[in-house]
Amino acid sequence: MEEIKTDVLVIGGGSGGLSVAAGAIQMGASVVLLEGHVMGGDCLNWGCVPSKALIASGKAAYAQSHASIYGVADVTPKVDYAAAKDHVADVIAQIAPLDSQERFEDMGVRVIREYGQFVSPSVVEAGAHRITARRVVIATGSSPLVPPIPGLEDVAWLTNETLFDLKEKPDHLLVIGGGPIGLEMAQAHVRLGCKVTVIEGMKALGRDDPEMAAFVLDNLRAESVEIAEDALAAHISQSGDTITVETKDGRSFSGSHLLMAVGRKSNVDTLNLEAAGIETTRTGIKVDDSMKTTNRKVYAIGDVAGGAQFTHVAGYHAGVIIRSALFGLPAKARTDHIPYATYTDPELAQIGPTEAEARKTYGDKLTVVRFDIEHNDRLIAERKAKGLVKAMVVKGRPVGVSIAGPHAGELINLWALAIANRLKMSAVAAMVAPYPTVGEINKRVAGAYFSPKLFDSPKVKMVVGLVQRWLP
């Protein structure tokens, strides 16, 4: 067995692990990276990248059949589902070199294509290699959670890890799970000519602001996505090419294909964490706010740490621990400035608390600012001016923002900047946005916050009146 000593050992070649490896090697540390599956992890191969590529195919098909409002004749799109999947594969292939073994080896990282497991608090074995590291970073990510629903073991089912290999267009796709993954794929498949039924045990988009979620769900239903809520799957069966999902309340849904999209589970099973003295929780590895585990020489970042499961969070965690692992400086991860987006059409984006959460936390100190997207001239010109922005403001500073509408995932970026840097609404109001752009919406939200203070204030009107009387 080869004995290897290194400054930093990274377990997992997904977004977070690759960010740590790249940062550490470029700053002069020696780095070993373990990846037993595919480089790039879930995001590149089965998550963010392929799903957005398939969504783009669906948007192209939808645009062809909804062009008449622009003076262009509607046509029925001719969808080649297999070719759409080829488009997905090509997109992955274009991005893959950035995450490749060759690129990281060229940087100087020792890449070992094996899974790793702890044999002591500072030693990990991977295949024929025994690695001793000053610091270990666990970045093994997460996998689809498939609950033990009776009958599922006898049914052919898909997850996001197998969906993108499917080349035969589903006649009727059943989706168990009404979260972001389930709804994004549901809408994409409806637009590509499939019938789709979403089966959600509680409320679809249940973690989001109910008003915002309702706006998105109403639009999906208008596109013929069937969404059944409070429909807890109790039994699944298959007869020939037909799959049937029976729910606890007696409803029954049948289709040709089944996608399981009920959530994610942290990848910890093969790590032998007990040997390293690393504790876990129900959602993943136990970490403190510096991303350290109960073994102080081991960090856990991204999905495996059991918090928000987003690629950009893993990248953020990587930046936090670089400071600690390489320079020995204190570093803590925040959560209040982390945005997320659901890429349905219209999109849904959130940062910080929703209105209900903010009211519970801040009470009378909270001001909720509403701005209707229908007043944005650029979106009016594009016939897409429908949606809403809500900003939760405390003492002049935004603490949370909810957006439902076109480009919500882009619009939330400015609020992420403002909240991360604790800027006031006055900083957003001072911005000059080019006209006409969608980005003007954020400036208008800030304007809506200040308008009552300026235009409805008797004191302001009195001061203006006095000034006008005395001006030459």
What is the domain range of residue 158?
Answer: 152-263
CA atoms of 390 and 222, how far apart (whole Å):
24
What the block records as the tokens of 122 is 């500072």
Same domain, 448 and 352: yes
Has residue 73 been placed in a domain? no
Distances (CA, A) of 398 to 357, 418, 426, 438: 14, 8, 10, 20
What the block records as the tokens of 149 is 């629903």
Same domain, 113 and 6: yes
* CB burial string 243-265: b at 16+ within 10 A, e below: bbbbbeeeeebebbbbbbbbebb
Strands 2-11 and 339-342: unpaired
Has residue 84 been placed in a domain? no
Instruction: Report the interhelical angle of 440-455 vs 408-420 (nearest 10°).
Output: 60
Has residue 161 been placed in a domain? yes
Neighbouring C-beta atoms of residue 334, cutoff 10 Å: 11
Same domain, 345 and 321: no
Same domain, 236 and 370: no
Q: Is the dihedral of CA 355, 356, 358, 359 positive or negative?
A: positive
Judged by DSSP in three states, 198 sits in: strand
Same domain, 166 and 305: no
Per-residue pLDDT of the chain (472 residues; tens, 9 = 90+): 899 999 999 999 999 999 999 999 999 999 999 999 999 999 999 999 999 999 999 999 999 999 999 999 999 999 999 999 999 999 999 999 999 999 999 999 999 999 999 999 999 999 999 999 999 999 999 999 999 999 999 999 999 999 999 999 999 999 999 999 999 999 999 999 999 999 999 999 999 999 999 999 999 999 999 999 999 999 999 999 999 999 999 999 999 999 999 999 999 999 999 999 999 999 999 999 999 999 999 999 999 999 989 999 999 999 999 999 999 888 999 999 999 999 999 999 999 999 999 999 999 999 999 999 999 999 999 999 999 999 999 999 999 999 999 999 999 999 999 999 999 999 999 999 999 999 999 999 999 999 776 556 677 666 666 677 777 7
CA atoms of 128 and 131, how far apart (whole Å):
10
pTM: 0.94
Among the candidates 263, 284, 306, a domain finishes at 263
Same domain, 408 and 436: yes
Has residue 468 been placed in a domain? no
CA atoms of 155 and 376, how far apart (whole Å):
48
Same domain, 396 and 288: no
Has residue 55 been placed in a domain? no
> 279, 286 in Cβ contact below 8 A?
yes
CA atoms of 224 and 228, how far apart (whole Å):
12
Has residue 429 been placed in a domain? yes
In sequence order, the 6+-apart residues with CB closer than 8 A to the CB of 80 are none
> 416, 351 in Cβ contact below 8 A?
yes
Same domain, 294 and 184: no
Phi/psi of residue 127, nearest 5 degrees: 60, -125
Judged by DSSP in three states, 342 sits in: strand
CATH number at residue 401: 3.30.390.30
Secondary structure (DSSP) of 214-245: HHHHHHHHHTTEEEE-S--EEEEEEETTEEEE
Has residue 231 been placed in a domain? yes
Our count of domains for the chain comes to 3
CATH number at residue 228: 3.50.50.60
Has residue 89 been placed in a domain? no
Same domain, 208 and 318: no
Among the candidates 208, 230, 263, a domain finishes at 263
pLDDT at 240: 95
Identify the CA nearest to 50 among candidates 78, 90, 100, 98.
Answer: 90
Judged by DSSP in three states, 266 sits in: strand
| 419-424: Cβ within 8 A, 24+ apart | 419/336, 419/337, 419/351, 419/352, 420/334, 420/337, 422/397, 423/397, 423/398, 424/396, 424/397
Same domain, 18 and 137: yes
Same domain, 291 and 358: no
Same domain, 169 and 237: yes
